[in-house]
Amino acid sequence: MVTPSDSNDDILNSREAIAELFTIRDFLRWSVSLFNEHQLVLGHGFDDPWDEAVALVLHALHLPWDSDVRIQDARVLPSERKAICELLHRRVVERVPSAYLTGTGWFAGMPFKVDQRVLIPRSPIAELIENHFSPWIDPDQVESILDMCTGSGCIGIACAQYFPDAMVDCTDLSEDALDVAERNVQELGFEQQVNVIYSDLFEALDGRTYDIIVSNPPYVDKQDMDALADEFHHEPRMGLEAGTDGLDIVRRMLPELSRHLNPGGIAVIEVGNSWEALEEVYPNVGFTWLEFERGGIGVFLLTKEQIDHHQADFVL
């Protein structure tokens, strides 16, 4: 890795920063200026450059992200200034998302361990979980939940947090992702409630049924994949791309939903920008497109009754 000590590659003017900046507040201001100057793409857990700067600078200083703001006027040792500059180099020059640099991504108010084996948590489904999927299902009646294509396990584990009486299965085809999910299950203390299962969609789930099936599967179409910012290319391609129209995975999921949903159950699936393609492929299905106070698009909900009614449409 190129560091600020490499005289010919000091793109960020880090040597000047180390010499002239002294407080945490100085480095926060400088970080935001760098983010703006180099046009960083946010969206991996942060939508504000100041918040991202706080997360990175405090991480470099081994301080919690929610430290008292009065600490911003504390002076920084020369060795600490170098550590901040090295972290900022990776973020600004190499375009590595902050969650990979800090090792933590936040979802539904919970911290999850993440690395480049899994996508960084950011799905708007968090808002649905926090609201117990209201008004679509009675949370007191939910006993079983499936998080398909679980990645880091964030959706399934958050469901366990907000539905403490429900058992949760988290499935994925990536063994690397399941290693990360299992670590999160253990570190967050959900070993008795959350099962991590290797499965190609429903393949290993024969005979299992659920009150809620929720999924944030790969759904990025070819056009969007080609246009993704550099930050997204640090994430596993397997977790993003889903064919020409972004529906390769969802097409396989829909015909299997009925036999794995309990009566009165719901399926909640994210397809992002591929929502228009989904409606074109299934014009007779009345997908309920959910709205979010904190932003986000392309998440649909179907009830068990709807799924049964449209089963012939799903078996193309």
Residue 266's domain is classified under what CATH number? Answer: 3.40.50.150
Residues whose CB falls within 8 Å of the CB of residue 291, separated by 6 or more in sequence, listed in order: none
Matching residue, tokens 């097409």: 251
Of residues 215, 211, 197, 208, the one with CA closest to residue 253 = 215
Asked if 158 and 87 sit in the same domain, the reply is no
Residue 231 lies in a domain: yes
Residues whose CB falls within 8 Å of the CB of residue 77, separated by 6 or more in sequence, listed in order: none
pLDDT at 75: 97
Work out the pLDDT band at 1, boundaries 50, 70, 90. very low
Matching residue, tokens 């998080």: 147
Indicate the pTM of the whole model.
0.92
Residues in the chain: 316
pLDDT at 5: 47
Matching residue, tokens 């560091």: 3
Tell me the CA distances in angstroms from 120 to 103, 115, 313, one per residue in order: 10, 8, 33
* pLDDT of 14 strictly over 80: yes
Query: How does pLDDT run across 114-141, given as a tens digit for each residue?
Result: 999 999 999 999 999 999 999 999 999 9
pLDDT at 243: 93
The continuous run of DSSP H or E covering 79 comes out as helix 78-92
* pLDDT of 238 strictly over 60: yes
Using the 3D structure, point to which of 77, 100, 123 is the last residue of a domain.
Answer: 100
Work out the pLDDT band at 315, boundaries 50, 70, 90. confident
Query: How does pLDDT run across 53-100, given as a tens digit for each residue?
Result: 999 999 999 999 899 999 999 999 999 999 999 999 999 999 999 999
Asked if 92 and 231 sit in the same domain, the reply is no
Chain Cα centroid distance, residue 204 = 24
Parent domain of 138: 104-314
Mean pLDDT over each residue of the chain, to the nearest integer: 94
- Structural domain count, the chain: 2
Nearest-angstrom CA–CA distance, 284 and 273:
20
Tokens coding 81? 């200034």
Query: How does pLDDT run across 257-267, given as a tens digit for each residue?
Result: 999 999 999 99
Nearest-angstrom CA–CA distance, 299 and 98:
25
Asked if 218 and 280 sit in the same domain, the reply is yes
Nearest-angstrom CA–CA distance, 213 and 193:
16
Nearest-angstrom CA–CA distance, 171 and 153:
9
Helices vs strands, H then E, count in the chain: 14, 9
